[in-house]
Amino acid sequence: MKNYKKIVLVFLALLPFTGCSPENDIKIADFTKYAFYEEFLGNTTDGSVLNITGWTNYAQVGTVKWNEGLYSGTKYAEFTSYQSGQASNIAWLVSPAINMDTMNNETLAFDVAQAYVSSSSNSIELLVSTDYDGTNVMTASWQTLSFKTPPLNYDTNFTFFSSGLVDLSSYTGNIYIAFKCKGSGTNTSLDGTYELDNVRIFDKK
């Protein structure tokens, strides 16, 4: 994580936490229950490799994985290639199996922040699989899903945005949600940071 983070966060503490502008605030519709909710509350050490029961933290290229994020009481998952020293880093964070047969209008939402991201090649993707075996990420079939990403803009560094509502109602049985990040530790235009929090699937009414 870049050294400027704490300075930026002190400033941002004075701003609303839900986003940089009203149009980015997402009001979640009424729901009956959560099928899944992850807040990363087990984080204890900022910058240590994230290890959550049931989740897969996998480095596809390079050695960088998702890390624990912890700052001023806020806990989240974090990916950054900054100072990795590796030309390419690709890391996956894959959820446990989520049963889609317990409700009818399954909807995914999460909060995502970015910092020092200036290129679309320094990316975060949302994917879903119905055939992941819990171990072999690269042999599973993955479908890319669209969500609202933070703008490539310095003014929004480390400000969490809502992903918007991602419709999952067409899926049945068990699914797995994955967050895939790409970056570089040798190309300064690709060494930005992504942060992830409040991953939830609920019954949207």
Count the domains in the chain: 1
Q: Is residue 19 part of a domain?
A: no
pLDDT at 27 over 70: no
Percent of the chain clearing pLDDT 90 (strictly above) = 77
Please tell me whether residue 60 adopts helix, strand or coil conformation: strand
How do 193-204 and 74-80 pair as beta strands? antiparallel
CATH code assigned at 87: 2.60.120.200
Q: Comparing C-alpha atoms, which of 75, 79, 32 is closest to residue 178?
A: 79
How many CB atoms are located within 10 Å of the residue 129 CB?
Answer: 18
- 161, β-bridge pairs: 112
Give the pLDDT confidence of 125-165 residue by residue, as tens digits. 999 999 999 999 999 999 999 999 888 877 788 999 999 99
User: Is residue 104 predicted with pLDDT exceeding 70?
Assistant: yes
**Residue 45 sits in which domain range?**
5-12+32-204
* 17, part of any domain: no
Residue 74 lies in a domain: yes
Q: Do 199 and 124 form a contact (C-beta atoms < 8 A)?
A: no
Distance between CA atoms of 64 and 84, rounded to whole angstroms?
Answer: 7
Look at the block and give the residue holding tokens 């235009």.
Answer: 189
82 has pLDDT over 70:
yes
The predicted model gives 95-112 an average pLDDT of 95
Q: 160-188 pLDDT, tens per residue?
A: 999 999 999 999 999 999 999 999 999 99
Name the band, by pLDDT with cuts 50, 70 and 90, for residue 26. low
Closest CA relative to residue 114, chosen from 140, 74, 62, 79: 79
